[in-house]
Structure 1
Amino acid sequence: MLARLASRFLFETDKRLLWKFAYNFGFKGMRSVQKYKKRLKQGVHFPPFLFISIINSCQLRCQGCWVDITSPRQMIQLDELDKLVTDAKRHGNNFFGLLGGEPFMHPGLLELLERHPDCYFQIFTNGHLISDSVAKKLRKLGNATPLISIEGSEVVSDERRGGKEVLNKTLEGLRNCVKNRLIVGVTSSICQTNYDLVSEDWLRRLIDLGAHYVWFNTYRVVGPSPAPELALTPEQVLELRRFIVNMRTKMPIGIVEPYWDDRGEALCPMSTGVSHHIGPSGAIEPCPIIQFSCENLRDGRDIYQLMTESSFLNDFRRMSAEATRGCVVLERPDLVQLIVDKHSAKDTTQRGTAMSELEQLTPRSSQHNPAEQIPERHWLYRFAKKHWYFGFGAYT
């Protein structure tokens, strides 16, 4: 499996892009985590990876979306993004996830990549705006990987994403990436209507389409219009975990999921401190689905000061880790309310209904399942998770 995957990367992508991926993401990413672990020993929490929703605008209307896509446009201006990345680099960070809305609707996206050739960016996108010319520009820049959302068949995609011809437009963007020899991934939010994507046939199709990695998320029942009927059962979550572990030993495609460690114990990236989120208003939030904040990029301090001095973020990490190894929003929405109230945190949505949405949530299970833990089988995934994507003492 590993040899076939390496061969795909070697022969299907631009060699200069592969080098940038290996150095900017691989080597520097490992170095960033080592610096993070060193800071932790001194009691300082600054995540090695930052995820930034750079704009709220989007052409689609996905079920269960928590972003204010119908509200007036909010976005972090290019110079603000430039300062954010520059400040984070001073503390060893070189990898940034760019989300939206739809990131390619941000007028300064490509210039941001151009200003930071020493960094690596993962762009979460529906793929509709990746024309051949945009893909050519990404190849020239060499420091970004598009992660394209595909939610299933044409019918399911239109239903889930709230549009017409959604899948065809997405696949066109994917083809442009492959044509221009980019490193490209596909992400799917697994729910009841697309659970058939948990299959070898789906992974084979992604390989045939030219995707080099796949990111499996599980549907989160949050936002202004949650759809609890789409949520996975505990048995399906366990089946998904088992499928991922088995396919990592078999299929020549990288498989990403952010919910379990090397031993198969559940984890939350926010609780471990591995990552926090910055919204399109500049608000610094625990994670993308917890839309409350006590700090903002525009407060006048750099991102390191804002995060390391935040008692709000510190309480969220500590209290959620004490409560569960899973998703605190799903399992303990009451605890989220308690922390928000304690710090008088600001609702960072434009709709202004985040607290009432929390109050209406029914507690449900997440990936935390102590009775059924499935350790990593492949040595490389096991090694990588143990050293660079682990609990880091959050649950001890």
Structure 2
Amino acid sequence: MTEHFDLANYMNESIEIIIRDILKGTFKNPRETAFLLKYKEVSKRNFRKRNFFEASGQHIPTFLISSITNACNLFCKGCYARDNGMCNDEKTAELLTAAQWLDIFRQSKDLGISFNLLAGGEPLLRRDVIQAAASVKNTIFPIFTNGVLIDADYLKLFNAHRNLIPVLSLEGNQPATDFRRGKGTYLKLLTTMKALDQHKIVFGTSITVTTENRLEVTSKEFLDVLAGLGCRIVFFIEYVPVDPATEHLAPGEKERLFMENRQNELREVYDSMVFVSFPGDEQFMGGCLAAGRGFFHINPYGSAEACPFSPYSDRSLKEHTILEVLSSPFFEKLQEQELVGGEHNGGCALFQQEDLVKALLNS
């Protein structure tokens, strides 16, 4: 429990830093500043809630990842969600309802979970679930979206509910983004970012980092464009190969060291932007944060998985509460075997040891 308590403090301090850094870029946006100042107090209450559970022997993660739909309007090259079968437009009967998602969101709020990252598929296809999330005011919901479906109605929803933070996916400049996501996507996203900025809605970008684009996506030229459009948060997501033929694109130790050093430089240059690396930052947090250590993943059908890149589960949110999921025998085995929370050399620990993960699930 000492390790968990230390992690809890580390994660809480990280939340404070993120809020502080976002605030730097919002002083010309009174509504957003007011929301974030209020949320600073909510964050402190959430920390006290998590510490209460910690004292009784129950570790509560800081955030969840919720894939709220199996459908997507794009067919991006190298999409892990389509490759592992989670993104499947034909399989809809077992999806969680908006009411079930609302119950999960409320459970997480009551436990003091500060963030719930909404993903998919394309999460904006589930407007009913997004509206449910909007009603849970004490949780911040970053929405990882391809951005194509952000229309006037969504702009109105985001403007009215500041706990919803759209995070738009890019691969770099126009050639790289359009190559992976489809012709015209890049220019559509630029238009959407301008609209978000005009409405003074805080938004971020999510960038898949590979061995080929790491220089471009961390360049001043590229980030100046994002900063000029009003982007406040940049998530660098390390590419996880779903096809052996693309393994050369996965960052290695050399690339991770570059990203670590480069992000430190960027934080000095762009003091109104927040830079987050995943899973790269985990090396500073005592290893992989999956399986409930820092987060777990809920797939569109309710299964509680250690991580989106490791789609294996022994419990479902249809039959279990979040607290019961956190006591999952499978999650406990992953932690006991130090597949999460053990030594960490970068990359996705569970994806790299898939055979052992499957063996633990079936043991």
TM-superposed CA distance for 1:225, in Å, is 7.5
Change in Cα spacing, 1:221 to 1:179, as seen in structure 2 (3 Å) is same
d(CA) in 2 for partners of 1:128 and 1:198?
Answer: 24
Tell me the SS of whatever aligns to 1:220: coil
Alignment pair present for 1:233 and 2:252: yes
Q: Where do 5+ consecutive residues of structure 2 fail to align? A: 1-17
Q: Is the 8 A contact 1:103 1:123 kept in 2?
A: yes
Match of 1:314 in 2: 332
Partner of 1:10: 27
Deviation track 1:151-209 (CA, whole Å, cap 9, x = no partner) reads: 11222112222x22111122222222111110111110101332211222222221111
CA 1:168/1:201 → structure 2, altered by over 3 Å: closer, same or farther? same
Does structure 1 residue 339 correspond to structure 2 residue 360? yes
Structure 1 segment 161-172 matched on structure 2, within 5 A: 161=181, 163-172=182-191
C-alpha spacing 1:226/1:112, structure 2 compared with 1 (3 Å): farther
* Per-residue Cα deviation, 1:353-380 (whole angstroms, up to 9, x for no partner): xxxxxxxxxxxxxxxxxxxxxxxxxxxx
TM-score, normalised relative to structure 2? 0.83
Q: Distance in 2 between matches of 1:314 and 1:106?
A: 32
* 2:314 counterpart of 1:294: yes
- Out of 332-341 and 236-245, give the one that drifted further: 332-341
Residue 111 of structure 1 aligns to which amino acid in structure 2?
Q
Partner of 1:348: none
Whole-angstrom CA distance in 2 between matches of 1:182 and 1:340:
42
Please tell me whether the aligned partners of residues 130 and 176 of structure 1 are also in contact (alpha carbons under 8 angstroms). no
Match of 1:72 in 2: 90
SS at match of 1:134: helix
1:47 aligns with 2:67: no
Counterpart for residue 293 of structure 2: 273
Equivalence for 2:193: 174
- Unpaired stretches in structure 1, ≥5 consecutive residues: 343-396
Q: In the superposition, relative to structure 1, how do residues 262 and 331 fare at CA in structure 2: closer, same or farther (>3 Å)?
A: closer
Q: Percent identity?
A: 24
In structure 1, the partner of 2:8 is none
Please give the secondary structure, in 2, of the residue aligned with 1:257: strand
- Measure, in 2, the Cα distance between the counterparts of 1:290 and 1:226: 19
Q: How does 1:31-180 map to 2 (within 5 A)?
A: 31-67=45-81, 68=85, 69-74=87-92, 75-161=95-181, 163-180=182-199
- Offset of residue 5 of structure 1: 6.8
In structure 2, the CA distance between the partners of 1:94 and 1:198, relative to structure 1 (3 Å rule), is closer
Contact conserved, 1:98 with 1:123, CA < 8 A, in 2? yes
Over 3 Å counting, the alpha-carbon distance change for 1:290 and 1:73 in structure 2 is same
Which whole-Å CA distance do the structure 1 matches of 2:194 and 2:259 have between them?
27
RMSD value over aligned CA atoms?
A: 2.6
> Is the 2:310–2:351 Cα contact (8 Å) retained in structure 1?
no
Q: Secondary structure at the match of 1:147?
A: strand
Give the letter for the 1:18 counterpart.
T
Secondary structure class of the residue paired with 2:205: strand
Report the equivalent of 1:393: none
Instruction: Read off the aligned partner of 2:76 and give its amino acid letter.
Output: C
- Pair 38,243 (structure 1): closer, same or farther in 2 beyond 3 Å: farther
TM-score by length of 1: 0.77
CA contact (8 A) 2:173 2:222 kept: no
The answer as to whether partners of 2:289 and 2:340 remain within 8 angstroms in 1 is no
Deviates more, 1:182-191 or 1:133-142: 133-142
- Whether the aligned pair in 2 keeps the contact of 1:103 and 1:124 (CA below 8 Å) is yes
Q: Cα distance, 1:322 vs. partner?
A: 6.3
Cα 1:56/1:272, change in 2 over 3 Å: closer
| TM-aligned CA deviation for residue 261 of structure 1 | 5.7
